[in-house]
Amino acid sequence: MSQSATLYSISSATFQRLFGAPGIEEFESSQARSICTFQGTFMGLEFVLAKDQDEEDAQLAREIFNPVEMIGQERFDDASLYEEFDLPGEATAIPYLDPSTIEGINSFLQRASASDVENAYDADEMNDNGIYPGIWSDDDDDEEMQGKSSLVEDFAKLKSFMNQAFRDKDYVLVFVG
What CATH code would you report for 4-176? 3.40.1760.10
Give residue 134's pLDDT: 85
pLDDT at residue number 75: 38
Q: What pLDDT sits at residue 117?
A: 96
Q: Where are the alpha helices (DSSP H) in 35-171?
A: 42-50, 55-63, 81-85, 99-111, 114-120, 123-128, 148-168
Q: Of 158, 102, 142, 148, which is closest to residue 123 (Cα–Cα)?
A: 148
Kindly state the DSSP code that residue 65 receives in the 8-state scheme: T
Closest alpha carbon to 6 in 119, 94, 112: 94
Per residue in 76-105, pLDDT (tens digit) is 444 433 344 333 345 567 899 999 999 999
Enter the pTM of the model: 0.85
Question: What parts of the chain have a pLDDT lower than 50?
Answer: 74-89
- pLDDT at res. 88: 35
DSSP helix/strand/coil, 163: helix
